[in-house]
Structure 1
Amino acid sequence: MRVVIAEDNVLLSAGVELLLASKGIEVAAVATDGPGFVAAVLRHRPDVTIVDVRLPPAFRDEGVRAAIQARRSRPGLPVLVLSQYVERVYARELLADGGGAVGYLLKDRVARVSEFVTALRSVAAGGTVMDPDVVEQLMSGRDRLVDALTAREREVLALMAQGHGNATIARRLVITENAVHKHVGNVFAKLGLPPDEGGHRRVLAVLAYLDSER
């Protein structure tokens, strides 16, 4: 697996590069700003990218803008975004095309090596991974979409947003996969996601409550 990183903090990018190398993951390039990242993506065509939300020159949302631009040039480009704080709008913007292959983690999650690498591989495979702290904040709001779900359905949606499949959700909640399948179906129905949306419905379910929090 080959990775392109967008991170202006040299120590952090060097640490991530060493961490990934220890797991047999190649870093093809490290960019320190948005334009450099987009150019590196087009040149190296990585399997997945890691992008800091805030990059030079203004340190606002340059990383996210660069990731969106790169996904326009390479539709479906897997992007794992790292952020210092929970910033819901950035998560929503990356999910907006409904195509998946997006992750949003807080930077301190990198220190949890196993979780970080698992999230990266999941995003590379087309999955959607949200940091548990982001999910907790999103689910804490009171709105009619979330209120329509039962407590168990809310738990299932939260785990879906973290990128977990039905088997893992079943283990986490100590219920059967058939029960998870039923709860997921109920979540889709209550959020108005019809069967013809296929595999993207898990992404759209996450997007639905991101929309409800705006």
Structure 2
Amino acid sequence: MSGQLMEGRKCMRVMVADDSLLFREGLARLLTERGFDVIGLACDAAWLTSLVRRDPPDVVVVDIRMPPTHTAEGIEVARELRAGHPELGVLVLSQYVETHYAAELFDEMGAASGGGGRGYLLKDRVSRLDDLVAGVRRVGEGGLVVDPALVDALMRRRRTRDPVKELTDRERQVLALMAEGRTNTAIAKTMNVTVKTVEAHVRNIFDRLDLALTEDDNRRVLAVLAFLRR
């Protein structure tokens, strides 16, 4: 299966940082079995920083809460690493839905960094290996990955008037699937509708969020960011 996944694709280089030995080693083994080149493991932010400085990978997979304070070391080290390596992809794993950290990951870090991808997944997602593998690869290719549980939490937090609130239920569903990094074809299969229907929903989302077509901007990414920034 890993051969089918990686056939014709670059062997993506990954580092994993988590203070739990079992989780760290287990995740590294799963990624290796799926064809990724896991070139470094770290138990804390300082160790990860040292590894990245010596040999920058394509993606770092990092826990939000690590020693010594177990608060936001993962986000902080990700910000510092991205400042020195703008093309570095960062996939943050968390035990819980923490919207304020997610907003920092997608907003502040995105504005200050280059082409590296960003992602936020719950650790429970690791049990769904295909989702995890797709997420790591998408981040490594410069894309965005947002856990569906985070999308739901952000939607529930809406209190003031904003364009996202004006979306229909179907449009919000499409936007949520876009936030997961799904293509129009994949969204159509998930929603059991035609690709043309999805394309119409996507156009409506762009219109409601006032995202004009330009040569320089990716409107799918901008739509997700407009949603996350609130």
TM-score above 0.5, yes or no:
yes
**What is the percentage of aligned positions where both structures have the same residue?**
47
In the alignment, is residue 3 of structure 1 matched against residue 14 of structure 2? yes
Q: Which residue, 71, 86, 94 being the options, matches 2:97?
A: 86
Amino acid at match of 1:108: D
In the alignment, is residue 144 of structure 1 matched against residue 144 of structure 2? no
State the distance in 1 between where 2:151 and 2:215 align: 23
Q: Which residue, 41, 46, 52 being the options, matches 1:41?
A: 52
- The residue that corresponds to 1:161 in the other structure is 179
Q: 1:88, CA displacement in angstroms?
A: 0.8
Query: What are the equivalent positions in structure 2 for 1:49-128 lying under 5 Å apart?
Result: 49-96=60-107, 97=110, 101-128=117-144
CA RMSD of aligned residues (A): 1.7
User: How many pairs were matched up?
Assistant: 212
Q: Tell me which moved more, 79-88 or 96-105.
A: 96-105
- Residue by residue over 1:74-109, the C-alpha shift from the partner in whole angstroms, topping out at 9 and shown as x without a partner, is 113111110010001111112122556111111111
User: Conserved in 2, the CA contact under 8 Å of 1:139 and 1:158?
Assistant: no
- Residue by residue over 1:101-133, the C-alpha shift from the partner in whole angstroms, topping out at 9 and shown as x without a partner, is 111111111111122112111211222111111
In the alignment, is residue 134 of structure 1 matched against residue 145 of structure 2? no
State the distance in 2 between where 1:65 and 1:71 align: 10
Q: Tell me which moved more, 66-75 or 89-98.
A: 89-98
Q: 1:181, CA displacement in angstroms?
A: 2.0
Q: Secondary structure at the match of 1:65?
A: helix
Q: 1:183, CA displacement in angstroms?
A: 1.5
Q: Secondary structure at the match of 1:196?
A: coil
Q: Which residue, 218, 222, 226 being the options, matches 1:204?
A: 222
Amino acid at match of 1:205: A
Q: 1:30, CA displacement in angstroms?
A: 1.0
In the alignment, is residue 32 of structure 1 matched against residue 43 of structure 2? yes
State the distance in 2 between where 1:107 and 1:188 align: 31
Amino acid at match of 1:3: V
User: Conserved in 1, the CA contact under 8 Å of 2:90 and 2:116?
Assistant: no
Q: Tell me which moved more, 14-23 or 90-99.
A: 90-99
Question: What is the TM-score with the length of structure 2 in the denominator?
Answer: 0.85
Query: What are the equivalent positions in structure 2 for 1:165-204 lying under 5 Å apart?
Result: 165-196=183-214, 198-204=216-222
State the distance in 1 between where 2:217 and 2:188 align: 19
5+ long unaligned stretches in structure 1: none
State the distance in 1 between where 2:216 and 2:168 align: 23
State the distance in 2 between where 1:133 and 1:121 align: 20
Amino acid at match of 2:53: L
Q: Secondary structure at the match of 2:214?
A: helix
5+ long unaligned stretches in structure 2: 1-11
- Indicate how the Cα distance of structure 1 residues 65 and 179 shifts in structure 2: closer, same or farther if over 3 A, else same: same
